[in-house]
Structures are given as structure tokens and as C-alpha cells.
Amino acid sequence: MRAARAIIGRELSLALRSGGGAGLGLAFFLIVVLLAPLGVGPEPQALAGIAPGMLWIAALLACLLSLDRLFQADAEDGSLDALALSPLPIEAIVALKALAHWLTTGLPLAVAAPLIGVTLQLPAAAQPWLVASLAAGTPALSFLGAIGAAVTVGLRRGGLLLSVLVLPLYLPTLIFGARAVAAAAAGENPWPAFLLLGGVTLGVLAGAPFAAAAALRANLR
Amino acid sequence: MSLVVTDLACRRAGRRVLDGVGFALAPGGTLVLRGPNGAGKSTLLRALAGLLPPERGGATLDGHLALGDDPDGWAERIAYAGHLDAVKAQLTVAENLRFWAALLGADATAEAEALDAFALAPITSRLAGACSAGQRRRLGLARLALAPRRLWLLDEPTVSLDAEAAERLAAMIASHSARGGMTVVATHVALGVDGSELRLLPPAAASTAAADPFLA
């Protein structure tokens, strides 16, 4: 437990200190969403129609921003070797680092979402579902991203390849997350899409640490 | 015999850098790896750390524990200090050390001893990014003193250390040996520790054909 707390605490303080990039994902999310009315036009009808999808796409991109440094920074300064030889299994280290990534990127998005939903004319009935779907869906983004970050850890410009690898994996989360919000906005039952979204996240939480750890082991050689 | 390495062969990026390396180290023994650049000293240390699976051959610790059979059990008995110091520039010296102490399960006493071993106490509140290369290296090496390990694997530990810190390192290795610990250290300079020496030579260029189809 002490080792797990140490990893989370270290990741959070690294993210919050200079050059860590916590808050940048949120700022990026805000800017992308605020650009939408400028590009699409300010008509409430048009904005409300694209709001669920737009919000979720912006959330995917915001999560991607900081993923390329998830393991790369540790690989460059030798910490990854030392972490791999620590008493914690690599799978647990991956899971803890992905959890810390979610705490600094996914969670702030869910918290800030109501504010952003209003600017896109999202109906009031859909606001709680926006928060709930982001809270339930963004952990999958961090954990799937950890697989991509582990595969590209040795590459100099891994960020672009990471996006190409990881964005297709985000499809189920995007579809069910946006669908749950859209259903709530249209006055339909959002539960089926929301439960599928939660199912995707649970499956990813269970499987991704093992895939990412296998990729890291191969990259440590 | 406590560490026995037999007929170890390793490839890196498809090129064989080690072939037929074998040695034995008694409890308390120190082995100094010598050899020109590219002779495979770092590769041997990474293989012994369990980070690089050997192509052939293997190693056993304390007679029964084989490298590769039980990676976790192996990792629990070794400490590895490579070229890089595993130090985060954005954290202070104390925070860096406390993180590794928590991860390795070291208590506050061990943490204080580790600070003491390399005279880090005066700079505990300094950001590691503001430390000199030698101070960062001392911080990286202080990790070794946090938790007892049977086998220390040190890759050029004296790089950027001043004469006093190099003496502290030698004293640390000596007290590790006195407790029955073993050390394999790659270095180009005289360390001032008693031990046997192993000379590695770059393998013949003939063995460049890759066995790994993905690297062919």
C-alpha cells in the first residue's frame, strides 16, 4: 500500500509541478469546445445537435495530449529500469500510473463538463449524464492510452504514432459515451448506452495493465 | 558459490554483444568488469538484472534461484544502478529518496543512513534538477543503501563522482561485502575495492546475423 501511495503521490506532484502538464488537458478541452460555436455558428439548434459528440471528441483529444510522456519520461531518466526491478509488479505500476493520469486529466474534464455543456446549449436534462459518462468513460481512455504509451516508449517522436494507435481503440468509449448524452438530451433512456460504456471501462481496466506491462517488458530489453 | 553465471550469451538489437561469459562469485565477493567500450559490460549487467533476457546460458543465485525462472524473486535480491540515475529533476533530493524508500519498503532509519552514506544531508531540500551531475549520481547511488540486497550491479558508478564520493562508494561496497553481499561493477578506473577482475572483449564481427526474424 505504501509503495502504491508513493507512486500515485509522485505522479501527482510531477504533474502539478513546472512542466508537468496537469491542467493543460483541461485547457485544451475548453479551447476545442469553445471553438465549435465559432466554426459551426451560434444557432442553438445546431450546437445542441453536435454537443454530445463534440464534447466527447474534445475529451478524447485532451486525454491524448499528455499520454506520450506517461512512460517516456521514466525511460529517459532511468526510473523505468528501477521501477521494473522494484517489488511491485510492472502491471501494478502501469495501473497506478494510468490511474494518476486519469486523476490529472480525465477527472478534471468530468468536473468542468457542466460549464462547457452550457456553452454548447446542451439541454439541462443531459448535464448530469454528461458528467456521469465522462466520469465513467475517461478511465478507459487513460488505461488504453497506457498501452499505446508502453508500445511507443522507445520512440523519439512517439506522440503521433501513439495517437494513430490509440484513437481507434477509443471508438467504443466514444460511441457509448456520446450516445448516452445524446439519448438524455433527446429525452430517451440513456441507461443502455451508459451501462455499455461502464462495461467497456471495466473490461479495459482489467486487461490494459497486462497488455501495457508486456509491451514495457519488451521495450526494456 | 553464491552467484554462478554459465555460458551467457546476449544479443542487443540483433547483434551478439556477449558470448560464452561465465564466472562465479562467492558471498562477499566483488567482481570488476573491465574492457573497451562496446565489450558488453552494460549488457552483462542488464542481463544479470533480469532486464535483458539472455539468448543462451543463465545465472543462479544462492544455488537454487535461477535467472528467468522467478523474475520477481530475482529482482528482490538485486539492486541495479545503471548509466542513468533514476532521479526526477522536478522533485527535491529528499522527495526522490523518499519515493524509492517507500517503493523498496525502507524505513526512516534506512533513509537517513542512505542520505548519510553519500553526504546528501546538506542538499535535501534542493530540487534534483538544480543539482550537479555528481550530486545526482550520489543521489542515484544512495538508492543502493535503502534496502538490503544480495547482489549489487553497478554500471560505471564513479562517473562524475569526486574523489571523496568515490571513496564513500568504495566504503559502501566494502561494508556490503562484509555483510556477505556480492557486487558486480563495470568501471574504467581503479575503485579501491578488493575483488577479482573479468576482462570482456568485443565479440568477433562475424556474429552479426540476426536470429530474431523481426530484426533481420
Query: What are the tens digits of pLDDT across the range B38-62?
Result: 888 999 999 999 988 898 888 998 8
From A52's Cα to the closest Cα of chain B, the distance in A is: 38
pLDDT of residue B193: 82
Tens digits of residue pLDDT in A158-209 = 889 999 999 999 999 999 999 999 999 999 999 999 999 999 999 999 999 9
Amino acid at the residue B12: R
Tabulate helix, strand, coil % of chain B (nearest 5): 35, 25, 40
Tens digits of residue pLDDT in B58-90 = 899 887 778 877 777 888 899 999 999 999 999
Residues in chain B with CB shorter than 8 Å from the CB of A17 are 90-91
Answer yes or no: are the C-beta atoms of B43 and B17 closer than 8 Å: yes
Residues in chain B with CB shorter than 8 Å from the CB of A219 are none
Q: B43, B88, B143: best mutation site toward chain A, by most A Cβ within 10 Å?
A: B88
List the one residue out of B184, B149, B175, B183 whose CA is nearest residue B74: B149
pLDDT of residue B164: 92
A86 touches chain B (CB under 8 A): yes
| Element (DSSP H or E) covering residue B169 | helix B163-178
From B102's Cα to the closest Cα of chain A, the distance in A is: 5
Checking DSSP bridges between strand B196-199 and strand B56-61, what pairing results, if any? Answer: unpaired
Residues in chain A with CB shorter than 8 Å from the CB of B49 are 81, 85
Least confident piece of the model among A106-115, A119-128, A184-193, B8-17: B8-17
Quote the mean pLDDT of chain B: 88
pLDDT of residue A1: 84
Region B22-34: mean pLDDT is 92
Note the pTM of the prediction, 2 decimals.
0.91
Tens digits of residue pLDDT in A32-72 = 998 988 998 888 888 988 999 999 999 999 999 889 889 99
B98 touches chain A (CB under 8 A): yes
Among residues of chain A, what percentage have pLDDT more than 70?
99
Residues in chain B with CB shorter than 8 Å from the CB of A3 are 102-103, 105
In sequence order, which residues have a C-beta less than 8 Å from that of residue B102 and are 6 or more positions away? Answer: A2, A3, A5, A6
B210 touches chain A (CB under 8 A): no
A135 has pLDDT over 80: yes
A85 touches chain B (CB under 8 A): yes
* Contacts A–B by Cβ distance under 8 A: 82
* ipTM rounded to 2 decimals: 0.88
Q: Sorting pLDDT into bands at 50, 70 and 90, what band is B212?
A: low
The domain ranges of chain A are 2-220
Tens digits of residue pLDDT in B109-144 = 999 999 998 999 999 999 999 999 999 999 999 999
Answer yes or no: are the C-beta atoms of A101 and A73 closer than 8 Å: no
Q: What structural domains and CATH numbers belong to chain B?
A: 1-77+149-216 (3.40.50.300), 87-148 (no CATH)
Q: If you measure CA to CA, which chain A residue comes closest to B10?
A: A221
Which of B53, B88, B95 has the CB atom closest to A77's CB atom? B88
pLDDT of residue B211: 53
Q: Reduce the secondary structure of chain A to three states and give it as a string.
A: CHHHHHHHHHHHHHHHCCCCCCCHHHHHHHHHHHHHHHHHCCCHHHHHHHHHHHHHHHHHHHHHHCCCHHHHHHHHCCHHHHHHCCCCCHHHHHHHHHHHHHHHCHHHHHHHHHHHHHHCCCCHHHHHHHHHHHHHHHHHHHHHHHHHHHHCCCCCCHHHHHHHHHHHHHHHHHHHHHHHHHHHHCCCCCHHHHHHHHHHHHHHHHHHHHHHHHHHHHHHC
Contacts by residues B210-213 (CB-CB < 8 Å, ≥ 24 positions apart): B210/B11, B210/B14, B210/B15, B211/B11, B211/B14, B211/B55, B212/B11, B212/B14
pLDDT of residue A195: 97
Is residue B58 helix, strand or coil?
Answer: strand
B207 has pLDDT over 50: no
The top-scoring range by mean pLDDT among A107-121, A174-188, B2-16, B186-200 is A174-188
Q: If you measure CA to CA, which chain A residue comes closest to B75?
A: A85
Taking each helix axis from N to C terminus, what angle separates A90-104 and A191-220, rounded to the nearest 10 degrees? Answer: 130
* Separation CA A128–CA A151 (nearest Å): 36
Among residues of chain B, what percentage have pLDDT more than 90?
57
Output B94 or B15, whichever has higher pLDDT. B94
pLDDT of residue B170: 93
Widest CA span of chain A, in angstroms? 57
Q: Sorting pLDDT into bands at 50, 70 and 90, what band is A138?
A: very high
Q: Sorting pLDDT into bands at 50, 70 and 90, what band is B206?
A: very low
Answer yes or no: are the C-beta atoms of B89 and B127 closer than 8 Å: yes
Answer yes or no: are the C-beta atoms of A44 and A122 closer than 8 Å: no
pLDDT of residue B215: 55
Answer yes or no: are the C-beta atoms of B10 and B16 closer than 8 Å: yes
